Structure 1
Amino acid sequence: MKHVLISIDTETGGLNPLKHSLLILALSTRIFDTDTAQLSAPLTSLGFRVRWPEYVVTASALRINGIDLQEHDQLASDPEDVERTALTYIERQQRHMSEGSHLFFAAHHARFDEDFLNAQLPALGRKVSRRIIDTRSLAMHAMLHGAPYEDASLEKVSAFYGRRQGDVHEALVDTELCGELVSDIRPVWKPEAPKTRTVARDYHFD
Structure 2
Amino acid sequence: MLNETLIVIDTETGGLHPKEHSLLTVGLIVVQNLQVVEQKEWKIKHSTYHVTGKSLEVNGINILEFDKEAMDKEQVGKEIMEFLSKYCTKKNKGIFVGQNTIFDKNFLEAFLQSLKDTTRFELYQKIIGHRYIDLMSITAFLNLAEVIDTKGIGLDAVIEKFGLQVEARHTALDDARLTFEGVLQMIQLVKKNTEESVD
Q: Tell me, yes or no, whether TM beats 0.5.
A: yes
Amino acid at match of 2:132: I
- What residue identity is the alignment partner of 2:111? Q
* Residues 109-159 of structure 1: CA deviation (Å, up to 9, x unaligned): 011112212222232764545232111111111111112011111111122
* TM-score, normalised relative to structure 1: 0.77
> What is aligned with 1:110?
101
TM-score, with structure 2 as normaliser: 0.80
Q: Which consecutive residues of structure 1, in runs of 5 or more, have no partner in the other structure?
A: 33-38, 193-206
Contact 1:114–1:128 (Cα < 8 Å) also in 2: no
Q: Compared with structure 1, are the counterparts of its residues 115 and 103 closer, same or farther at alpha carbon in structure 2 (3 Å cutoff)?
A: closer
Identity among equivalent pairs (%):
30
How far 1:14 moved relative to its partner?
Answer: 1.0
Q: CA RMSD in A?
A: 2.6
Residue 25 in structure 1 maps to residue 26 in structure 2: yes
Per the TM alignment, residue 102 of structure 1 is displaced from its structure 2 partner at its CA by: 6.4
Question: Which structure shows the bigger proportion of residues in helix conformation?
Answer: 2
Q: Letter of the 1:46 partner, please give it.
A: K
- Name stretches of at least 5 consecutive residues in structure 2 with no aligned partner: 114-120, 195-199
1:48 is displaced (CA, Å) by 0.5
Residues 47-78 of structure 1: per-residue CA shift (max 9 Å, x gap)? 10111110011111111111121222122122
The alignment status of 1:84 with 2:78, answered yes or no, reads yes
Q: Hey, what's the Cα distance between the residues in 2 that align with 1:5 and 1:94?
A: 9
Q: 1:172 to 1:63 in 2, by over 3 A?
A: same
Q: Does 1:67 align with 2:68?
A: no
Report the equivalent of 1:138: 138
Count of residue pairs the alignment pairs up = 181
Kept in 2: contact 1:159–1:165 (CA 8 A): no
Opposite residue 75 of structure 2, the aligned amino acid is D
- Secondary structure of 2:28's aligned partner: strand
Looking at CA atoms only, which structure, 1 or 2, has the larger radius of gyration?
1
